[in-house]
Amino acid sequence: MGLRAKQTVLGQAAQHFKEFKLPLTIDHKEYVAIVGSKMAINAISVKRSFKKWSVLLHALKKHYPELVEKPAPAPKPAVAPKAAPAKSAPAPKPKAASVKKES
């Protein structure tokens, strides 16, 4: 049975994305493979309500912001504890110039 009401299709898609923890970058074929062909929203329902799959995904992002994966916060730079001034190493000794023998 095909669904035609936008809100019904959107609600069912949101339920599937929450239940199966699907990313919002998934393709329709992958979605059907994961959810199952009996439970999944068929392509005809998507076409009649949203014209194409990418429009449905955009609507999910807009109406259900909890489905959007939030990026992990960037780690704070580690603050090195201030250490006592280190003793400087002695400067290396210059090498002696090589002497060429003339024959």
Per-domain residue ranges of the chain: 6-67
pLDDT, residue 21, reads: 93
36 torsion bin: left (phi>0), alpha (psi -120 to 50), beta (else): left
pLDDT, residue 85, reads: 62
For the chain, where are the alpha helices, taking DSSP H only? 6-20, 28-35, 43-50, 53-63
Neighbours of 6 (CB within 10 A): 13
Q: Between the CA of residue 7 and those of 14, 58, 59, 89, what are the distances in Å?
A: 10, 14, 10, 73
Is the distance from CB of 49 to CB of 6 less than 8 angstroms? yes
pLDDT in tens, the chain (103 residues): 566 789 999 999 999 999 999 999 999 999 999 999 999 999 999 999 999 999 999 999 999 999 888 776 777 777 766 666 666 777 777 777 777 777 6
